[in-house]
Structure 1
């Protein structure tokens, strides 16, 4: 087991190195293309709607989409956990293992690559950090050693949708604890927009699977994949017309 874990971690480090080099190369290409677009527009050699500028903008958009897809692939063993009570000096790894136990999944500290709070600590108007029971807990991002563990936790969380902070023995008003896939910043923003549109138009379902965003009006209706803001316009506007 130790040898297998060591081999896995070595492969993971090699994969991260390759991803880092690939991302660096894509960022350089994006910077170069964006500079070319700026130069073309500044010199007014071509109007903004010219085929040359449109082609460059399309290439930049495609590269950004490809970069986002690769970043999402790197998060396939990650989870996003929200509404877990936050305390000073807490051990987030222990907190996550307790949560897993409540969900019926056996998880040891060796199964967790890292678990940490993200985001700014909420402060009072006077600038002081508010009391632990009064401030909103920051979400925890978790990276697990294996993808099957992440999938097992996600499935268990879907079964126990009503799990609350009270079930974990936390003080204060009960809050529903959620466990989701971890998304890139771009996908998180896009998923938020998709959910808002679903609420506004009373669509029943919006969810993610392996970093992909999907929506559906109701049972028996077609499933729509959302990859860009243009997809939001296409899917929801066409639904309104229908």
Structure 2
């Protein structure tokens, strides 16, 4: 049992101020029991309200019982108690060595980062100098020509991968639709039956550059190029396919064409514009390649790049 340093009553579960060494009940300590429990390791350094604001209160103003309690607490302080407090303090200070090591490691990393940034800046400066030399060299034209040829080659390979594909545009998207049923309806219109065994896959895909308000195209991948070419030929013979022809409401048209790469789609639009300006009568796509012809007796020209459009006359 202990005597409360404020009210002088006996306390069964006191808390002790580490400054004045007085014991208090929770009512007189200025802290709740729950609050004191939450202090954890800081309980060993807890001070009463009086010690937080002023120095240790004078014993002359305390009751005799309080003075006796203080004397008893002071005289009962042993070497073991002192060593115990020192051990607690040492335990609290132990993590400082790790913190110091971490700070030193951070300083080392920062120094290394500064050196790395310095080296990177030097390399970047050297790279810029070399780039300027390359841009100023006489090989600039050859380099551009080489890059242009590579772009054409890559585009042709990309188009080759789509040789068996057909792109169907103009068909509105419906919930729970069956794309193969749409394909069959088109086949019925153009009198070309398309069995499932001749289709590798069929799906809708958004065209690059389309906004959200436009319909997604239907891409049909046939198992072989000949079936795909026969289907497109039948659609071209039919000339016009409307939404009404395939069971949709509206007078909109449905278009069936080769599945072109994005680059070829852009090139086709530009070719049509130049052909109109130069009075070319025919522009068409066959086997994924763009062709033009000025008159019925003129030679057929293939357009592979935008640069070739300047030669149309």
The alignment's TM-score, normalised by the length of structure 2, stands at: 0.55
Q: Aligned to 1:214, what secondary structure does the other structure show? A: strand
Q: Distance in 2 between matches of 1:213 and 1:68?
A: 13
Matches within 5 A, 1:82-231: 82-119=169-206, 136-172=214-250, 174-231=251-308
Distance 1:54 1:97, change over 3 A: same
Q: CA deviation at 1:138?
A: 2.3
Q: CA deviation at 1:136?
A: 4.4
Structure 1: tracts of 5 or more residues without a match:
1-38, 124-134
Q: Aligned to 2:272, what secondary structure does the other structure show? A: helix
Higher-RCO chain (CA-CA 8 Å, sequence separation at least 6): 1
Residues 182 and 246, structure 2, Cα contact 8 Å, conserved in 1: no
The alignment's TM-score, normalised by the length of structure 1, stands at: 0.70
Is 1:44 aligned to residue 159 of structure 2? no
- Larger Rg belongs to: 2
Q: CA deviation at 1:76?
A: 0.9
Residues 204 and 219, structure 2, Cα contact 8 Å, conserved in 1: yes
Q: Distance in 2 between matches of 1:86 and 1:168?
A: 13
Distance 1:231 1:168, change over 3 A: same
Residues 81 and 177, structure 1, Cα contact 8 Å, conserved in 2: yes
Q: CA deviation at 1:85?
A: 2.8
Is 1:67 aligned to residue 67 of structure 2? no
CA-to-aligned-CA distance 1:117-151 (integer Å, 9 cap, x gap): 2217865xxxxxxxxxxx64322111011111101
Count of matched residue positions in the alignment of Structure 1 and Structure 2: 185
Q: Distance in 2 between matches of 1:137 and 1:68?
A: 25
Q: Distance in 2 between matches of 1:41 and 1:194?
A: 40
